[in-house]
Amino acid sequence: MKNNYVKLSKGILTSSIWREDLSTRILFITMLALADSSGFVDASVPGLADLARISLEDCLAALKNLERPDKYSKRPEEEGRRILKLDGGWKIVNYEYYQKHGASRASYYRQWRRRGSARSTKTVAQQLRNSCATISQKENEKEKEKEKEKEKVIQKEKEKEKEKEKEKENESEREKHLFSGERGVAGGKEKIRDEQISQKEKRFVPPTAKEVEEYAGTIDFRIDGQMFVDYYTARGWQIGKTKMKDWKAAVRTWKMRQKHEYLPPESIDKRFERFWQAYPKKIGKISAYKIFLRINPDDLLVEAMIQQVNRQKKTDIWLQDFGRYIPNPSTWLKEGRWLDETKTKDEMQMEWIRRIQ
């Protein structure tokens, strides 16, 4: 026996031997296991009976069954006999055929597996080569990007150096121009000094309250200088979003706006005093002042309040019983009575006449 095993074909299940009794089938399989590479079984009858674990009588009967012809055998050799009696043992008919047939199939499958493993090995190797190529390509791209960044930095430095050189050339040309006049070097220095003085003069310097009032007097304008200084100091000496260049022009503007609605803003106390003087009922000044602070009206709203108070003074309800029905100033402010639609007696009569007509 080669390699201590023998191939047993699946075709035995459909052969005529599988219709034999149990002892015949067991003995045949035992002889297959004992046969050498040529199919010869070197054994005696008692030895076969012991190895097959059958009785001596059953062994003899099984040998006779295997030695007689079988017309239903798949192979025509030896008239379908399974074994032949030889000196020293028996020879299994068609042993070599079935062993070689099974070996060819096994070798085919071995070769097929080898080819598959070779293909998988090639695939893995190709993948490794591709990944290595990809990594090297990425590294090359990173190096190229670094080189480009270095070139950009170098280019920027060169541009800065060129700008500095141009500035130096311009400065040298200006100096030559200044020093090339009729006055020579001394004249050029004086011109530079004059330019520096003029630049200093152009710089804005905030005025004092006294300077504001003195200048306002020269243009026939009375102004609170400290109020003017405080107003623009709080705004960083800016007009809107533009820095002030000439404070005298701002004083002239205040003069022009003196009779206009856009006067410089008064303090909250002054605005309240204007309202209090216009309101006819002088009761609860502190309460009215607190509500006035919450409202915090600007100059335009205070003016609108005073106009409405003057209109309501002429109405019948405020004139009745010496002002008995005039609301307290705190109530008037709290209820927003400056928004009332007020009509005098004459206006109501005219409206009634229009309706009748």
- Judged by DSSP in three states, 72 sits in coil
* Amino acid 215: pLDDT: 92
From 196, 159, 203, select the one nearest 178 (Cα to Cα): 196
Residue 186 tokens, joined = 């001394």
Q: Does one domain contain both 232 and 285?
A: no
User: Which residue among 78, 93, 108 closes a domain?
Assistant: 93
Q: Is the pLDDT of residue 3 over 80?
A: no
Residue 262: alpha-carbon gap to chain centroid: 50
Q: Does one domain contain both 303 and 234?
A: no
Is 179 within a domain? no
Is 282 within a domain? yes
User: Which residue among 93, 115, 134 closes a domain?
Assistant: 93
Q: State in Å, rounded, how far the first CA of the chain is from the last one.
A: 141
Q: What is the mean pLDDT of the chain?
A: 80
Q: Does one domain contain both 282 and 244?
A: no
From 284, 216, 227, 293, select the one nearest 256 (Cα to Cα): 216
Is 178 within a domain? no
Is 66 within a domain? yes
CB contact at 8 A, 251 and 221 = yes
CATH number at 36 reads 1.10.10
89-92 β-sheet, strand order: 40-42, 89-92, 83-86
User: Which residue among 198, 224, 256 closes a domain?
Assistant: 256
Q: How far is CA 131 from CA 142, 287, 345, in A?
A: 17, 86, 100
The whole-number average pLDDT for the span 38-62 is: 90
Burial 182-205 (b: 16+ CB within 10 A, else e): eeeeeebeeeeeeeeeeeeeeeee
Q: Does one domain contain both 73 and 50?
A: yes
- Domain carrying residue 29: 10-93
Is 164 within a domain? no
User: Lowest mean pLDDT: which of 25-39, 49-63, 180-194, 293-307?
Assistant: 180-194
Q: Is the pLDDT of residue 112 over 90?
A: no
Is 23 within a domain? yes
Is 344 within a domain? yes
For 189-220, what is each residue's pLDDT tens digit?
555 555 554 554 467 899 999 998 899 888 87
How far apart, in whole angstroms, are the C-alpha atoms of residue 7 and residue 257?
123
Q: Does one domain contain both 15 and 42?
A: yes
Q: Does one domain contain both 304 and 334?
A: yes
Is 276 within a domain? yes
Domain total for the chain?
A: 3
The whole-number average pLDDT for the span 215-229 is: 85
Q: Band of the pLDDT at 297, cuts 50, 70, 90?
A: confident
Q: Does one domain contain both 280 and 352?
A: yes
Q: Band of the pLDDT at 262, cuts 50, 70, 90?
A: very low
Q: Is the pLDDT of residue 179 over 60?
A: no
From 356, 294, 266, 284, select the one nearest 327 (Cα to Cα): 284
Q: Does one domain contain both 241 and 299?
A: no
The CA R_g of the chain, rounded to the nearest whole Å, is 63
* Amino acid 278: pLDDT: 92
From 90, 38, 100, 39, select the one nearest 67 (Cα to Cα): 90
**pTM for the whole thing?**
0.31
Q: Does one domain contain both 248 and 274?
A: no
Q: Does one domain contain both 279 and 242?
A: no
Q: Does one domain contain both 64 and 38?
A: yes
For 121-148, what is each residue's pLDDT tens digit?
656 667 777 776 677 787 888 888 888 8
Q: Does one domain contain both 272 and 251?
A: no
